[in-house]
Structure 1
Amino acid sequence: MKWPDRKLNRLNGFDYSRDALYFVTSCVLDKACVFGEVVNEAMQLNKFGCIAEQQWHRLAELYPYVVLHAFVVMPNHVHGIIEIDRELVGTGRDLSARRLNDGAGTVNTVIAGSLPAQKIKSLSQLVGAYKTTTSKLVRSAGLAEFAWQRSFHDHIIRSEKAYNQIRDYILSNPEKWPDDVFYQQV
């Protein structure tokens, strides 16, 4: 039996573990609104939404080459900008400078201690780690049937103009929720 051809989700031939900025979107299965609700143009996270938010920030703690930029948890999906920056990984003897972005453009540098050499995960592996740990924690918190939609959407950010437009889109997502394509399909 021949399986139907699947649309490729990633850019053919692109190394998704290389230094770059990536815009990612991941949806809850069937676009179920499980992370909270938008009230007065602001996202009000419930306990499951808080888990989704905490696990996103955990990526930067677990992987020293990850810099997180703008991020939002919506009722049934998440949007974020994730940066892979190999210069942040030490040799195991060096001190590594970590940059943390608050989502509004402010970058702070934090000096971390000695880090062991680390293999750089691809974007798919990072998002997979996020979705796996989030799923386990949401299920154990009481939403036994929770699941993410298969795969995720990504866009490689190639210019400052694109970065600014995407960051603004992410940060303004809650106020635009009634017009959001994800809301319309609920």
Structure 2
Amino acid sequence: MQLNSLGHIAFNCWQTIPEHFPHIELDAFVVMPNHLHGILIITDKLAVLQNCCALNQHLDSNKEKFGKPVRGSIPTVIRSYKGVVSKRINIIWHTQRQSIWQRNFYEHIGREQKSVDNIREYILNNPQRWADDPENTQHNSDEQDCFFDMAF
């Protein structure tokens, strides 16, 4: 798969997450034509505790408190990532605050190594399954160009 300029923005911004959040390490990830998958590893035990509290708060109230993000939490990392990608793409498109992402994101805490390994395998094999994906508008399996469709 070949990324276009927008895909490269998404890819490069993902690569810089640890520079902005030093307690986060990147694991397997892939930018797909209309979504991305990635594993973030929290390396700081205090940050792990904060993320568990943020997740419990998210589950209890169904949302993080507006204007009160939990510093360093996975929701904050993802919100920051989406924000910077959106800002850079809006500059290219000459638009302001154009929404390019789905409202939410799916998160799963992998507590067991087998679970993390299964997720890693799913991510790494995802590009090979794109030809059969119902969201793929290009059903010609000979053409596998990743264009990073903005239909998030």
Q: How does the TM-score come out when normalised to structure 1?
A: 0.56
Aligned CA distance change for structure 1 residues 181 and 166 (closer, same or farther; 3 Å): farther
> Residues 63-85 of structure 1: CA distance to partner in whole angstroms, max 9, x if unpaired?
11010000100001010000111
Quote how far apart the aligned CAs of 1:121 are: 1.0
Sequence identity (%): 40
Which residue in 2 is equivalent to 1:153? 106
Quote how far apart the aligned CAs of 1:44 are: 1.0
Show the 5 A alignment for 1:1-186.
Answer: 43-86=1-44, 120-142=71-93, 144=95, 145-180=98-133, 182-183=135-136
- Tell me how far apart the structure 2 counterparts of residues 138 and 146 of structure 1 sit (CA, whole Å): 10
Aligned-partner SS, 1:132: helix
Q: Of the two, which has the highest radius of gyration?
A: 1
Larger RCO, structures 1/2 (Cα 8 Å, 6+ apart): 2
User: Does the CA-based 8 Å contact 1:65-1:86 persist in structure 2?
Assistant: yes
Aligned-partner SS, 2:93: coil
Structure 1 residues without counterparts, runs of 5 or longer: 1-42, 90-118
Which structure has the highest strand share of the two? 1
- Tell me how far apart the structure 2 counterparts of residues 61 and 183 of structure 1 sit (CA, whole Å): 33
Which structure has the highest helix share of the two? 2
Q: What amino acid maps onto 2:83 in structure 1?
A: T
Aligned-partner SS, 1:44: coil
Which residue in 1 is equivalent to 2:143? none
Output the aligned Cα RMSD.
Answer: 2.6
Q: How does the TM-score come out when normalised to structure 2?
A: 0.67
